[in-house]
Amino acid sequence: SHALTLSISRFPILLIPTPSMSAFFYGTLQSETVLLRVLCGAEVPNETLASKLKTLKLRPAVLKGYRRHALKGLDYPGVVKSVSAESSVLGLLCEGLNRHDILRLDAFEGDVSLLNNWIKMVLLSTCTLTDFGGQEYDRVTVTVSTIGTTEYPAIETNIPTKVYLWTAGNEHLEDREWELEKFIQGAQVQWMSDRCEFKMVDQL
């Protein structure tokens, strides 16, 4: 990106582009429908959704040393550090996020630890924080490697990014994988109409 210089009267103004950020999604946010609902809000014109999607670079990627689990009684998964170095999680690297996107993602994932007190108060007054009444995820830095595709054939390794790791306790983890396609084809529509997290992000 290049900085833009504007001149108002005789005084130049330097506009520094906000650096973009990235996140690794391994659960419901891999669904384009869910992701755009979180980032753009409800009842948004299709043109707006398409425009937002064009600002994002979405590539399949692998997070090594972690494992994804289905959660007991829930439609979304959690990822935790694995005891086996051979474990890995296949997900989606999303690049091109801005600060407001990250704010909305933090609210959606329930990681309110990084939000200021006023925003936290508004969000927590909107609905219960999580299914378990406490914080479920922490946003942390990890490295991932991309998988070559027709659109993005080059493979990149050790890309630093953010991921929301499960922190609400291993007792809620099932010893099985969570399946994205099963979620999209089955639970997604009803799940999106029920989730309080969407009300939280809409407050931002």
Q: What does pTM read for this prediction?
A: 0.84
What are the backbone angles phi and psi of residue 187, rounded to the nearest 5°?
-90, -15
Rounded Cα–Cα distance for residues 22 and 98 (Å)? 8
Q: Which CATH architecture has domain 19-201?
A: Roll (3.10)
Do 138 and 105 meet the contact criterion of CB atoms below 8 Å apart? no
Do 31 and 178 meet the contact criterion of CB atoms below 8 Å apart? no
CA atoms within 13 Å, Cβ hemisphere of 114: 17
Residues 74-111 have pLDDT tens digits of 999 999 999 898 999 999 999 999 999 999 999 898 76
Rounded Cα–Cα distance for residues 47 and 19 (Å)? 24
Of 121 and 186, the structure prediction assigns the larger pLDDT to 186
Q: Structural domain boundaries of the chain?
A: 19-201
Residues 150-180 have pLDDT tens digits of 999 999 999 999 999 999 999 999 999 999 9
